[in-house]
Structure 1
Amino acid sequence: MKTQVKALVVGGGAVGTSIAYHLARAGWQDVVLLERDELTSGSTWHAAGLLPLFNMSYATTHIHQYSVEFYKTLEAETGLNAGFAVVGNLRMAQTEARMDEYMLYAATAETCGVPYVFLSPDEIKQRWPLIRTEDLKGALYHHTDGYINPADVTMAMAKGARQRGVVIERKWQADAFRWTGSAWEVTATKMVEKGGNLVPSDEQVVITAEHVVTASGNHAQRTARLLGIKMPAIPVEHQFIVLDQDPALLAWRKEGNGEHPVVRDADAQSYVREERGGWILGVYEKGAPARFEYGVPDSFRADLFQLDLERIEEQYGAMVHRVPSSEDSGLKDDFNGPICYTPDGNPLVGPAPGLRNMWLAEGFSFGITAAGGTGYYLAQMMVQGEAEIDMASLDPKRYGDWMTTEYAARKNEEAYDHVYVLHHPDEERPACRPLRTAPAYERQKALGAQFGQVNGWERPNYYAPAGFDDHAARSFRRGGWWQYALEEAKAIRTGVGLIDATAFAKHVVKGPGATAFLDWFTCNTLPSVGRINLTYALTDHGTTRTEYTMVRLGRDEYYLVSAGAWAAYDGDFLRKAAEDKADEFGYIEIQDVTTQWGVFAIAGPRTRVVLTPLVRDADPANALGNRRFPWLSCQDIELGMCPVRAIRVAYTGELGWELHHPIEMQNYLWDQLMQAGQAHGLKPVGARAQNWLRQEKSYRAFGNELGRDGTPLEAALPRFVDMDKDFRGKAAMAETGIRATCVTLLIDGPEDADPWGREALYQGDARIGRLTSGGYSVHFGQSIGMGYVRPDLAAPGTRLQVKMLNRLWEAEVVHDSPYDPQNEAIRRDG
């Protein structure tokens, strides 16, 4: 066995073999893969092998699309048939709401170039008469999809990897990882058969690897413990049954007809496909338990669990209803095995938190579909330093250290039984909530707050009357909540509103090296003491890695505020960069103070009249005026008995302040603000109204307009880039140029729907871009969106179309900050 390698891949399922293959294809020599048992002995061997091309995730859709195209090339390269049956995928809808979902799916697919067609019930029946269609509204059909043999495709990738120089070692288990400062020392133990079990022998080797990738599947919790990190990758039981031959199906095929597509009856929580003249039924039922929360028993190898037919009885009945002839088929075989999940159903792909050159590829609920693309894009990240698409939505650090095993297990069970639940863009899942609550949570709840979850935090989305049902209010169009968000947005534009922004991530950076470090780390000019700026930390490729509101508290002390959903992601990047530059810049101290500070954002024309009576100052009448407290500045003030770090900035584009306060005083401050605002119509406001308002100001949002697939210059933010200084990623950003440009559009859309920020943009018949945000403008009284287009189409006045609800709607590119372009409202005095 090689003991000095460039990269060591741990795990020999479909994902691990793909990563090894693609690292070798990208040019890395000395790649070794370790598998503790046999290749495919984990979840790969009992996977159904479906290849659903796309979903609501932009990154995941690209990954799946690459896999589907890549698998078609393997036989020519390796001589092994991967067993790819390109039969298509038929997503059927029993309700209009499901058709709305598919239309949003289709709009997302278009942004990635995935082909599809909508079929009526009659068209389905004409093509596939064995399918019952009288209760269907229609279907979404993508003909390039299908299914594959999981073992065959894994073996083909393994052969391709060997042909490129990869060494694959079976029956070796990684038992310890130690970082030396420049490489990983991985202790591997030879596994041997004993009484039908696989047990460690006395034979061990230490492999020194520059990079390590873990693709350990069901063993992810063991991997996490060995690495000293947390991973919410825990398996859930997944059942499917194989039926004997169906005489009607045999007759259909004997007549020369082609194989049925994979039939997805989402409203029946199941999928059906042909299998040697019979059928396979796979289900995503409620009540499927998480397994192996604390590790896989040594006795569990390529094993299965006891089938629970009662749990899937309803889905079996639905299959017989949908394909009546299947009732004549007897049960031939059954499978109930572990399939790894994460709380949001997306895998964990990218650098491990806190560790160097340790890469995770864990938590794949659709591992066969994702394997090819994961190998491709992860290899790009490892070899080139960045992938060609933004992989942040799959980053393992989207879950912080607050996450526990219990949380992951329960949320993974929920993710499993939600596979075929209607996935509204305004979806909020209930499991494990509330968990992280700011002190004012109960007060907000009493006022009708309907909460969303951001990084575990409960955050008001909007406020509604008593008895309002948030779940029933969800829609792919304007849901029942829309009218309440509308009133909240109007309140901030015309009066005053109060937003809870406690979930913001907050870091203090200080020390002798802090100023020099942050000057290199971010692209904007550093603010002077008492002032703030908006700035970006870039990747080495010049794209946007993180957005910060930076407050300079002292000569070498800074307070950095970033998006709440990305706290661990931002903090890890910040700490690693500071460690890298400590010798050059000197001592740098970084503190995560997120849970120490609560944040209220108060905004609107009447903000000063609400705050002034609370200010404890020698001259309270002028304490908040422009002369003493100008826009884009920060001061420590007192509101009643609460000390507040007040920052004059507003994400809504109105006069306003962020009030950062000791979190233990939050209820006191909330009560003071609500009481002071009562006479002035102060209205509590949620995140949805705020999202609409920031689009009226063309304020970019990280994870939407800002990410690792675009530069700040492509985001049309040159005013926040100081090209007169040196900063990380500067040369790469300049060299990249402008491939696409971020614009704001006003949209003449349907009367009952707004864009969600996942739609394709067209000019005539040509697809020329995509939306990244969408919503409603209270100022203009029409839909609004932000997105990226070809640079030649970014000029204000350009007429485009947005694909919504399966048709094109007129849209016009407008000047940035279409509401109050001169910022008079946010600067107002008096």
Structure 2
Amino acid sequence: MALPPKTARVVIVGGGVIGCSVAYHLTQLGWTDVVLLERKQLTSGTTWHAAGLIAQLRATKNMTKLAKYSQELYGNLEAETGVATGFRRNGSITVALSDERREEILRQASMARAFGVEVEEISPSELKTRYPHVNTEDVTAAVYLEKDGQGDPANIALALAKGAKMRGAQVIERTKVTGFERDGRRITGVTWLTEGGDQGTIACDMVVNCAGMWGHEVGRQMGVTVPLHACEHFYIVTDTIDGLGQLPTLRVPEECAYYKEDAGKLLLGAFEPVAKPWGMTGISEDFEFDQLPEDFDHFEPILESAVNRMPLLAEAGIHTFFNGPESFTPDDAYHLGLAPGMENVWVAAGFNSIGIQSAGGAGMALAAWMDTGEKPFDLGDVDIARMQPFQGNKTYLFERSTETLGLLYADHFPYRQKATARGIRRSPLHEHLLRAGAVMGELAGWERANWFAEPGQTPEYAYSWQRQNWFDNAAREHKAVRENVGIYDMSSFGKIRVDGPDAEAFLNYVSASDLSVPVGKIVYSQFLNSSGGIEADVTITRLSETAYLVVTPAATRLADQEWLRRHVGNFRVSLFDATASEAVICVMGPNSRELLSRVSPNDFSNAVNPFGTAQDIEIGMALARAHRVTYVGELGWEIYVSADMAAHVFETLLEASEAQGGRLCGLHMMDSCRIEKGFRHFGHDISSEDHILEAGLGFAIKKTGVKFIGSDAVQRKRDEGLKSRLVQFMLTDPDPLLYHAEPILRDGRIVGYLSSGAYGHHLGAAMGMGYVPCEGQSAQEVLSSSYEIEVAGHRVAALPSLKPFYDPSSIRVKA
């Protein structure tokens, strides 16, 4: 057996399907100095026992793009490598057994059309024709995707490995990675040990963690957080069933089951609601092609439903009862990208039981990112920088993993909150909010008040695709902010201090806006990449001559701080996460100035505290800083107060607010207000592949003749003209609800999809925004078309606008 080389451009740790895919795609880009190390034998961890389902449709456009790419790749691999992948397009069917699930799969069908995936809604009788063995008595709807497929997982991985080797990669089995040599933010060497006892170190430029369910531990050895946990995953395979024939994959999510026909046998797999975590004390050193002990009691409820759904199972013998481990992440999205805290450590792991359908596209995307240093398109859904450091906690991962496996087939209701591993990050106001009736949601571990229950109302979600039980609560909170005053907690804001003699010059380089501003000035800005795409959407407040505060969304603080850190270069600055040091209490509404004047001696007039400025204030018996900015489109302030004084300031504000008839508000209110005002939401309406000018944010670029990251791309777009515009829409029918990804039809033809949606309570209809192609067209030409939004298969007329529907001149904001 060949030993590893002394040096390599990149070392890939792990020989499952994703490690093989990364090696394949790097060599496809011309990298030859690629080494893949596998502790045992290729595919011997999880890949070998995967079900091999290869679907196209995912929850977002780019994840769908990657899944479609995987299909096309696997279809061609055999001709390239001579290794049979077993890939065939047998189609798939998903069925609904309730009205709520019917709404979900019909909305998914609409989304598929928007993403260019062929989909067909079929009746129960058509379902019976395509899948004659299924009991259709209680089926309410079904959708058929003709081009979905399946393949042989192990051979797909082996074909990728062979393709990589054909282009010069070294794939070395039975060689365990035992550690890493580190120099600051870089891994400089990978130490290894063969089963025969040979050992050594590979000096390398980059490392990729593709270690699957070992990925968390390998990450710890590297000094990076890779949050994932293995769970037991069950399926049975029947004996050969005469006359079974080739069948599409069948999914019955409400029964937690999927059915796959293969070589005359039927595989029944389960995604049970409460999963069984595995490997809490580590994984055996000898683990190779292993399976876990059977647990028929755990699987039996799934099987009972399956026998009713598929009566032939009652007569078919069970050939195999299989239980094997697969890794799951805290949010059911895999990990891809450059590891936070490091300059040359990449991650591709945690594929949540969809590794085969994801690996081709994920390997392609990561290889492109590694090759150029920039993401090939928006990968925010899976970028490992979305994970927070605490999510590497083993107890947290154990608790959350009991839920995440089952969520794959659970109802994907809008606003659905995770039920496990909660209460970890709390605002200083947390208990105050709970006592006031707050119903909490969770984001990046933060408990945040999403809405407030009325006295006597059960303070919990009742999920639905229709108007949920908090709809009227959010409407009342919305009205308070529009007509009077509302108070809400935004302590979860990410807060990054940028300090140092070069702070101004540094931020002028990484930001598209002019940060050469007076102390106390607040600048709304974006960080751009070299293509003019938006990497971060922030406000930046100048605190002193040498200090700024960058305020980011809660979920992107780590990613945004990493973006800053990776561009520090020779600038003399320091970066500090100040998130936990200050609470943020938002006071918003036309009567917010009056409220603040009741509790503070400071002057909140336009003359002293105009929009876009901050001032130090006294409030109650405390000290704070008042930022006059808004995300709800009203006169208002964000009050930044040290965590130790936050409760006092909140109590002071709440007491004064009650005298004015004000109201505590939640973040559902904020979302509905912001969409009326046309404010963009990062990660939905704007992302790394959305050009700042096409996003309608050119007003935030206030530099002329100054070089900053993305400035050349901004000028090119100005010279070439826009290819798309972010357009706001308001439905003419007040009843349908919009969430995101609903197709946009222009003059009867699908041209895009909604990037976000919410109900505009003040305007009385659901609203959304999305990009519309406009190359060579004026703004007036874009708006003169007829628009519809498709909602669960029904087309609803919509009014378009490039300006905010609410207060387009921002008179209320600047009052």
TM over 0.5: yes
Q: Greater CA deviation, 540-549 or 450-459?
A: 540-549
Match of 1:654 among 634, 640, 664: 634
The residue aligned with 1:779 is 762
The residue aligned with 1:397 is 385
Distance 2:663 2:753 in 1: 34
The residue aligned with 2:93 is 90
Distance 1:468 1:127 in 2: 46
Shift of 1:765: 4.2
Q: Deviations over 1:456-511 (max 9, x none)?
A: 01111111224545665222222221111111111111111111111100011111
Distance 2:497 2:321 in 1: 55
The residue aligned with 1:805 is 792
The residue aligned with 2:729 is 745
Distance 1:137 1:28 in 2: 51
Q: Which amino acid aligns with 1:374?
A: A
The residue aligned with 2:699 is 719
Is structure 2 residue 42 aligned with structure 1 residue 39? yes
Is structure 2 residue 505 aligned with structure 1 residue 522? no
Distance 2:256 2:381 in 1: 26
Q: Gapped runs of 5+ residues in structure 2?
A: none
Q: Which amino acid aligns with 1:786?
A: M
- For residue 660 of structure 1, give the secondary structure of its aligned residue in structure 2: strand
The residue aligned with 2:131 is 128
Shift of 1:2: 2.9
The residue aligned with 2:579 is 594
- For residue 402 of structure 1, give the secondary structure of its aligned residue in structure 2: helix
Shift of 1:796: 3.6
Q: Deviations over 1:62-113 (max 9, x none)?
A: 2222111211111121122201131111111100111111122223323321
Is structure 2 residue 227 aligned with structure 1 residue 219? no
Q: Deviations over 1:326-384 (max 9, x none)?
A: 21111111211110000111111011010011100011111111110101111111112
Shift of 1:749: 4.2
The residue aligned with 2:200 is 205
Q: Deviations over 1:531-561 (max 9, x none)?
A: 1110111123321111110000111110110
Q: Assess if the C-alpha contact under 8 Å between 2:748 and 2:787 holds in 1.
A: no
Q: Greater CA deviation, 386-395 or 452-461?
A: 386-395
Cα separation, partners in 2 of 1:120 and 1:467, compared to 1, 3 Å: farther
- For residue 812 of structure 2, give the secondary structure of its aligned residue in structure 1: helix
Distance 1:781 1:456 in 2: 33
The residue aligned with 1:532 is 522
Is structure 2 residue 359 aligned with structure 1 residue 371? yes
The residue aligned with 1:55 is 58
- For residue 728 of structure 1, give the secondary structure of its aligned residue in structure 2: coil
Match of 1:603 among 585, 588, 591: 588
Q: Assess if the C-alpha contact under 8 Å between 1:55 and 1:105 holds in 2.
A: no
Shift of 1:716: 1.2
Q: Gapped runs of 5+ residues in structure 1?
A: 193-200, 254-258, 618-622
Distance 1:384 1:464 in 2: 50
Q: Assess if the C-alpha contact under 8 Å between 2:10 and 2:207 holds in 1.
A: yes
Q: Which amino acid aligns with 2:480?
A: A
Match of 1:421 among 398, 403, 410: 410
Cα separation, partners in 2 of 1:182 and 1:568, compared to 1, 3 Å: closer
The residue aligned with 1:504 is 493
Q: Deviations over 1:383-423 (max 9, x none)?
A: 12333331012111212222211111211221012221101
The residue aligned with 1:408 is 397
Q: Assess if the C-alpha contact under 8 Å between 1:630 and 1:648 holds in 2.
A: yes
Q: Assess if the C-alpha contact under 8 Å between 1:345 and 1:412 holds in 2.
A: no
Q: Assess if the C-alpha contact under 8 Å between 2:501 and 2:546 holds in 1.
A: yes
The residue aligned with 1:560 is 550
Q: Deviations over 1:518-537 (max 9, x none)?
A: 11010101132111110111
The residue aligned with 1:673 is 653
Shift of 1:615: 0.6
Distance 1:293 1:739 in 2: 51
The residue aligned with 2:473 is 484
- For residue 212 of structure 1, give the secondary structure of its aligned residue in structure 2: strand
The residue aligned with 1:380 is 368
Shift of 1:590: 1.2
Q: Deviations over 1:607-649 (max 9, x none)?
A: 11111011134xxxxx011111111100010111121111001
Shift of 1:179: 3.7
Q: Which amino acid aligns with 1:220?
A: G
Distance 2:611 2:273 in 1: 52
Distance 2:549 2:457 in 1: 39
Shift of 1:42: 0.8
Q: Which amino acid aligns with 1:276?
A: A
Q: Which amino acid aligns with 1:767?
A: I
- For residue 483 of structure 1, give the secondary structure of its aligned residue in structure 2: helix
The residue aligned with 1:573 is 563
Distance 1:50 1:470 in 2: 40
Q: Assess if the C-alpha contact under 8 Å between 2:728 and 2:770 holds in 1.
A: yes
Q: Assess if the C-alpha contact under 8 Å between 2:96 and 2:253 holds in 1.
A: yes
Distance 1:798 1:470 in 2: 44
Match of 1:308 among 295, 306, 331: 295
The residue aligned with 1:171 is 174
Q: Assess if the C-alpha contact under 8 Å between 2:738 and 2:757 holds in 1.
A: yes
Distance 2:67 2:219 in 1: 26
Distance 1:252 1:156 in 2: 29
RMSD of Structure 2 on Structure 1 (CA) = 1.7
Q: Greater CA deviation, 182-191 or 371-380?
A: 182-191
Cα separation, partners in 2 of 1:410 and 1:58, compared to 1, 3 Å: farther
The residue aligned with 1:234 is 229
The residue aligned with 1:196 is none
Q: Deviations over 1:580-629 (max 9, x none)?
A: x2x2x3x2111111001100111111111111011134xxxxx0111111
Q: Assess if the C-alpha contact under 8 Å between 2:62 and 2:378 holds in 1.
A: yes
Is structure 2 residue 334 aligned with structure 1 residue 353? no
The residue aligned with 1:101 is 104
Distance 1:77 1:140 in 2: 34
Q: How high is the sequence identity, in percent, across the aligned residues?
A: 32
Cα separation, partners in 2 of 1:31 and 1:470, compared to 1, 3 Å: farther
Is structure 2 residue 613 aligned with structure 1 residue 633? yes
Cα separation, partners in 2 of 1:733 and 1:233, compared to 1, 3 Å: farther
The residue aligned with 1:251 is 243
Q: Assess if the C-alpha contact under 8 Å between 1:174 and 1:186 holds in 2.
A: no
Shift of 1:294: 5.3
- For residue 389 of structure 2, give the secondary structure of its aligned residue in structure 1: coil
Distance 1:805 1:764 in 2: 19
Q: Assess if the C-alpha contact under 8 Å between 2:292 and 2:324 holds in 1.
A: yes
Q: Deviations over 1:282-305 (max 9, x none)?
A: 001144322224532212222111
Q: Which amino acid aligns with 2:667?
A: A
- For residue 388 of structure 1, give the secondary structure of its aligned residue in structure 2: coil
The residue aligned with 2:773 is 790
Cα separation, partners in 2 of 1:221 and 1:89, compared to 1, 3 Å: same
Distance 1:169 1:271 in 2: 35
Distance 2:96 2:379 in 1: 31
Shift of 1:516: 0.8
Distance 1:750 1:134 in 2: 34
Cα separation, partners in 2 of 1:212 and 1:129, compared to 1, 3 Å: same
Q: Which amino acid aligns with 1:825?
A: R
Q: Which amino acid aligns with 2:373?
A: G
Normalised by the length of structure 1, the TM-score is 0.94
- For residue 586 of structure 2, give the secondary structure of its aligned residue in structure 1: strand
The residue aligned with 1:338 is 325
Shift of 1:682: 0.8
Distance 1:293 1:734 in 2: 54
Is structure 2 residue 675 aligned with structure 1 residue 695? yes
Number of equivalent positions: 801
Match of 2:743 among 750, 760, 767: 760
The residue aligned with 1:256 is none
